[in-house]
Amino acid sequence: MCSSNVSDYQGLKAAVQNLSGAFEGRSGALSALTLALLAHTGKPCCVSHLSLQTAGKYTHSGLLAGLEKGSIDTDVLLRKLYPLAAGQAGFKNVVIADCTSWLRPEGHCVDQRGMVRDAKSARRGLHADAGWEFSLIGAETAKGVFPLLCERIEPGADKHAFVINQLERVSSQASGTLLSLHDAGYSAANLAYLAGVRELDVTFLVRLAKNQVFYKGTPADPEVTRGRPRRHHERLEFKNPQLEPDLHLEYEDLKLGQVSLRGWCGMHQKLRKQSSGMAEVGKYPIESGTVVQVQAAKWQGRSMWLFYTGDVTVPGFSLGQLVALYTQRFDIEHGFRFAKQTLGWTCYNAGSAAAADTWTGVVIMAWALTCLCRHLASAFKLPWEKPLEGHSLTLGRIKRAILGHVRKLLALVVVPKIKTRPVGRTKGQCWGPKTRHPVHVAGGENPRTARR
């Protein structure tokens, strides 16, 4: 097992050899492709440009064959990445879960495409567009998000059940209770219910929309012996919160200024039949937790609402610690930007969903290697740049600093000898047109795409 931080060339070499054990088939080509991603400078490009970084050892077709015929075992990669993330500074068994999309509207011959939402489709005036959706689990550290697991969500699959499956695998590697941070796109009650069914040792901290309504549980009344017992008692409406809070805290923050916190304990949300995992449930369960309202001077009167499924009255995370942890959740958005704009995650025109999964594993491995080399890049800067400490370095600046070490590793890549005749099109053979795959939409296939 390599060290959790890389400080020299030998440490980077050991980290690459350790993580390469997750490759299944075409491991040499996938390892070279991972290093070529880190060695490439400039804007993201296609695989043909990345083959130039291998000094002629791997051609364009060789790297593409590695993506098409090779694969990555995500469970093995998770077992290798989690100890490295746990060794990072500031790790407190806190993970961040979020989804991102990979648009492929022009890939009519690509399988497993669904209708996903993205900022690009919004700029084009579309509510959704054809592509893939990926779910990422990253560990929150003092230096940013360390990627652990990234997998593609199949079209039609439930997002809440999918992320619970991922958290179950991550929690098996953790020691102690895991805290998972989520954006407003997730339902806290659904996540808590599904985690309770699986008996996971996971608590959730989810941001809530500003138009939601929560209720207090009804206390048991021994005098009432007839009729159906009331399940929803006092009402808390976020637009007009008139319910008296159970907790109140005020403190001064360096970034947010004066912060005011109000907490309501024992609150729950009404679950409906359309909610995740509720179709077969006869009586909807009540998932209680703490609702927190965060007001800061920097936000100029705006509020942020959070829901914590744990108990703030027992030793653990306090209200102030929960808010401080959630304000770092946005680090995963910087990670998405680094993976897409610097590593070129969505620039590769994958010919199949399996190739997209393999390419995603390569990008995640390059992202993790960049995080490990933070100490290696602390002394590197251009003349016009400000000197920064190790925890303040951006991922792009770290990638640029380790360029020389990565190119040395590319020179050591050994290409296996081909012992059989290369498979290709023989004279007179015609493959014919590719099979066109319809886009999966809610309720069935898209009839317009299916006719093509």
Give 316-362 pLDDT, tens digit per residue: 678 888 998 999 899 999 999 999 999 999 988 898 999 999 999 99
Amino acid at 279: A
Average model confidence (pLDDT) across the chain: 84
Residue 184 has pLDDT above 60, yes or no: yes
Dump pLDDT digits (tens) for 223-282.
656 666 677 788 899 988 888 998 899 999 888 889 999 999 989 888 765 555 555 555
First to last CA, the chain: 52
| H or E element at residue 119 | helix 119-123
- Residue 248 in domain: yes
What is the full DSSP assignment across 334-355? HHHHIIIIIS-GGGS--SSHHH
- Residue 303 in domain: yes
Closest to 102 in 3D by CA, of 132, 123, 130, 81: 132
- Strand residue runs (E) in 319-432: none
Dump pLDDT digits (tens) for 185-196.
898 888 998 898
Inter-residue contact 374 to 390 (CB < 8 Å): yes
Residue 94 has pLDDT above 60, yes or no: yes
Structurally, how many domains does the chain consist of?
1
Number of other residues whose CB lies within 10 A of the CB of residue 111? 16
CA–CA separation, 261 vs 250, rounded Å? 6
CB burial of 309-343 (b: ≥16 within 10 Å; e: otherwise) equals bbebeeeebebeebbebbbbbebbeebbebbbebb
Q: What pLDDT shows up at residue 366?
A: 94
CA–CA separation, 303 vs 296, rounded Å? 7
383: pLDDT confidence band, cut at 50, 70 and 90? confident
Q: What pLDDT shows up at residue 134?
A: 96
- Residue 409 in domain: no
Residue 23 has phi, psi (to 5 degrees) of -75, 140
| Largest interatomic CA distance in the chain | 90
- Residue 384 in domain: no
303: CB partners within 8 A, 6+ apart: 210, 293, 294, 295
Closest to 360 in 3D by CA, of 345, 338, 379: 345
Q: Which of 71-75, 387-391, 394-398 has the lowest mean pLDDT?
A: 387-391
Instruction: Decide which of 202 and 61 is more confident.
Output: 202
- Residue 53 in domain: no
312: pLDDT confidence band, cut at 50, 70 and 90? confident
Q: What pLDDT shows up at residue 6?
A: 73
Residue 204 has pLDDT above 90, yes or no: yes
Residue 123 has pLDDT above 80, yes or no: no
Q: What pLDDT shows up at residue 447?
A: 43
Q: What pLDDT shows up at residue 224?
A: 59
Residue 432 has pLDDT above 50, yes or no: yes
452: pLDDT confidence band, cut at 50, 70 and 90? very low
Q: Which of 13-17, 221-225, 383-387, 440-444 has the lowest mean pLDDT?
A: 221-225
Closest to 130 in 3D by CA, of 148, 118, 147: 118
Residue 311 has phi, psi (to 5 degrees) of -115, 115
pLDDT over 70 for what percent of the chain?
A: 85
Distances (CA, A) of 282 to 71, 119, 272, 274, 278: 42, 39, 11, 13, 8
Q: What pLDDT shows up at residue 273?
A: 59
Q: What pLDDT shows up at residue 281?
A: 56
Instruction: Decide which of 300 and 181 is more confident.
Output: 181
- Residue 359 in domain: no
- Residue 416 in domain: no
- Residue 295 in domain: yes
pLDDT over 90 for what percent of the chain?
A: 35
Q: Which of 274-278, 373-377, 422-426, 445-449 has the lowest mean pLDDT?
A: 445-449
Give the domain CATH number at 253. Answer: 3.90.350
CA–CA separation, 148 vs 93, rounded Å? 13
CA–CA separation, 357 vs 164, rounded Å? 19
* Domain, as residue range, for 118: 87-221+230-273+285-334
Residue 283 has phi, psi (to 5 degrees) of -115, 120
Query: Token pair of 52, please?
Result: 């130039």
Mean pLDDT on 290-312:
90
Please tell me what DSSP assigns to residue 187. Answer: -
Residue 24 has pLDDT above 60, yes or no: yes
Residue 25 has pLDDT above 70, yes or no: yes
379: pLDDT confidence band, cut at 50, 70 and 90? low
Q: What pLDDT shows up at residue 315?
A: 62
